[in-house]
Structure 1
Amino acid sequence: MNLALQYGKYGLKKPTLLAVVAGLIIVLALVVLPTRFSAKTSKIALASTAWNQTLGFGKIFYISMPYRTDRQDAMNLLASTSDLKITLINGVDGDGISPKAVPDKADLRPSVLGCWRAHADAWRYVLDNNLETALILEDDIDWDENIHQIFQDLSLQMQDNKLRLVKPTAHERAHAPYGLDWDILFTGQCLDSAHPDYRDLVQVYDDPSVPSRESTQSSFLDYMGSLGVTGDDVGKKRLLSPAYGPACTMGYAITRKGAQRLLLNLSYLGLRGPVDNDMAWTLRDGKIRGYSITPPLFSAWRVGGQKDSDIDGQNLDQPIVQNGNKGGVSKNLKNSARVAMLQQLAMDNWGDYEKARIEVNIDAEG
């Protein structure tokens, strides 16, 4: 039967085009838009876990030799002023590692072997405690005083990021602020290089806490330039890209699968060199998947002298310490948390008493 006759039969008017459009708008408003709004709200809520004491990771570890109580004091002090909770993983004396426990193919001096063992202990902790993710730091680092906001912005970028090979699972969307499609997330490398065939795989985003050009190491400026970030974008943009040639392990996160692959490739199947070098080689071999954040989010804190290294041994030509923490420096950060800590905890008790006394006298005279 003709549709017009259908309407006439029941005494209804034929709907106008305007009425149809209005109906569609109502459906959009009631169904589609709330769904999209809800998805955006869920992403923001998940990213806000970066404000908890572990930045949204299962745990934050830091590795420190048992005798470096000075660094442990510093790390716990710094973490407390940044509202972070960190867990100590004891460094390992390589001289105490049995030759039977040394991975196949490893020919390393004791201090380098001990460094590998401490990181491997952190990977084992992830598996032993069934953690989904963990952030691993070394004990001589600095970070930005806005660390929680920086990681919240990173979370928003890593959810549904264009570098993924598969879509996030429902579990990831609900519980994994940085996703789980990676093995290693480099957040504290001292240099990096990009895969020559995949320079187009980069996600660039705004971050108000990016260090200025002058505060950024030339190696990172070159790396960013190789991925198309130059000119006025330097000092404003941060990059998320596939990890290919990172060096140093000042800060990196791992997933549970990442811990498994690291123990497989850098212990069970052998060890080809220092832990950071073998991580990079394994990335280049395609045996693990990683992302790099540039400029990095963690940087070395340098005080000068022998205190700056536990791997290279004592340099007898240098004093124990040259500048001390008060004169220490870090690069690749906009607002050093260590500098901010000094300002946050500074006080002049007797000066405050004197100011209060003066104010009382003024009030009394008034």
Structure 2
Amino acid sequence: MALTGESGESQYSTSEGLKARTYGDHRMLDENIESALILESDADWDMRLKSSMLGLAEGAREIADFQFDRSPGAHGMGTHPRDLSIPQAPAPYGDNWDLLWIGHCGAAGDPNGRAYSYHDPASGGREHAWVVDGAPTAAWGDLLQTRLVFQLRMACCMPAYAVSKRAAAKLDRKFAVGNAPVDLKLRSHCMEDLDLTCLGTYPSIFSVSESKTNIGSDKLGLDVDNVKAGLGMQISARLNSLLHLAEKGPEFWQKEWDVQVPTAENSTLSAGELVDSTQVGAV
């Protein structure tokens, strides 16, 4: 579901970004849409998106769908591991998240929350991550071909995020007042509202690309000249999608940097497990 400020009018007097945000909430509630992935017009992603999203789904279920002790001092995985007697939810991404902030230019997690690491060939690690403000601690190494899912408390920029129907009802009320850039308003709610479950990824799964199709263009997305790879994307979908449609396989895809292989020196995480989230903080 692609949303722009012109898609519909909000009942609130606010910015175009917030109009689009509230319009999306209304549409989800009116049409009983269980979840929606919302992309900005300049979003880009890696051609190996499937592996990134499969790991995200695993992490979202591991973090949000297992009950855990919320009392002070008992949040960390080292003090209160997940309860394996509770069955996993049947939904691919789980049932208990509100917001998946999977396209950003910086994020940090709840120091008392959960984090999940998984192997992802599309992750270029710290060297190629698109970061303006906020990243997990350097103690976890370079994160080459490793991605984290964690309980998010801070993020900025939003080329892509997913919202659940449950969250649409919450955000519709929260966005009824105030006027601010939509990413900063969502950030404030993820930081302050205990009833909102926000999950993030690092490195970011989605990024932004520069082209004539950006907001403000009069080409309405039809002009694909001079498109650049999204920041932090090794195999840009915007640059390689035509090759894919022409049935040109991965050996023909254009890469932004050489493939790197993680070593013991540049990664201290084991893939596919819950990890100590006390280290998921801003640097």
User: As a proportion of its length, which structure holds more strand?
Assistant: 2
Does the Cα contact within 8 Å between 1:206 and 1:236 map onto a contact in 2? yes
After TM superposition, the structure 1 = structure 2 runs for residues 30-109 of structure 1, keeping only pairs within 5 Å, are 61-64=1-4, 90=7, 101-102=11-12
**Among 176, 186, 196, the residue aligned to 1:288:** 196
| Whole-angstrom distance in 2 between the partners of 1:296 and 1:289 | 18
Show the counterpart of 2:183. 276
Please give the secondary structure, in 1, of the residue aligned with 2:175.
helix
**Among 174, 183, 188, the residue aligned to 2:98:** 183
Residues 134, 291 of structure 1: alpha-carbon distance in 2 compared, 3 angstrom cutoff? same
Show the counterpart of 2:261. none
Please give the secondary structure, in 1, of the residue aligned with 2:241.
helix
Please give the per-residue CA displacement for 1:160-185, whole angstroms capped at 9, x wherever unaligned.
337844679999622x1111211111
Show the counterpart of 1:254. 163
After TM superposition, the structure 1 = structure 2 runs for residues 1-366 of structure 1, keeping only pairs within 5 Å, are 61-64=1-4, 90=7, 101-102=11-12, 113-161=15-63, 164-165=66-67, 173-174=89-90, 176-195=91-110, 197-198=111-112, 201-219=114-132, 223-225=135-137, 228-231=139-142, 234-267=143-176, 270-286=177-193, 287-303=195-211, 308-310=214-216, 325-345=225-245
Structure 1 unaligned residues grouped into runs of 5+:
1-60, 67-89, 107-112, 315-322, 348-366
- Give the length in aligned residue pairs: 228
TM-score under structure 1 length normalisation: 0.54
Please give the secondary structure, in 2, of the residue aligned with 1:173.
coil
| Whole-angstrom distance in 2 between the partners of 1:160 and 1:117 | 33
Does the Cα contact within 8 Å between 1:163 and 1:202 map onto a contact in 2? no
| Whole-angstrom distance in 2 between the partners of 1:170 and 1:117 | 39
Does the Cα contact within 8 Å between 2:130 and 2:232 map onto a contact in 1? yes
What amino acid does structure 1 have at the position aligned with 2:141? Answer: T
Does the Cα contact within 8 Å between 1:132 and 1:255 map onto a contact in 2? yes
Please give the secondary structure, in 2, of the residue aligned with 1:131.
coil
Please give the secondary structure, in 2, of the residue aligned with 1:193.
strand
Please give the per-residue CA displacement for 1:69-124, whole angstroms capped at 9, x wherever unaligned.
xxxxxxxxxxxxxxxxxxxxx2x5xxx77xxx335xx6xxxxxx112111211111
User: As a proportion of its length, which structure holds more helix?
Assistant: 1
What amino acid does structure 1 have at the position aligned with 2:233? Answer: L
Residues 170, 118 of structure 1: alpha-carbon distance in 2 compared, 3 angstrom cutoff? farther
| Whole-angstrom distance in 2 between the partners of 1:148 and 1:239 | 16
Show the counterpart of 1:69. none
Does the Cα contact within 8 Å between 1:160 and 1:168 map onto a contact in 2? no
Identity %: 21
Residues 126, 341 of structure 1: alpha-carbon distance in 2 compared, 3 angstrom cutoff? same
| Whole-angstrom distance in 2 between the partners of 1:65 and 1:162 | 31
Asked which structure has the greater CA Rg, the reply is 1
Per-residue deviation, 1:256: 1.3
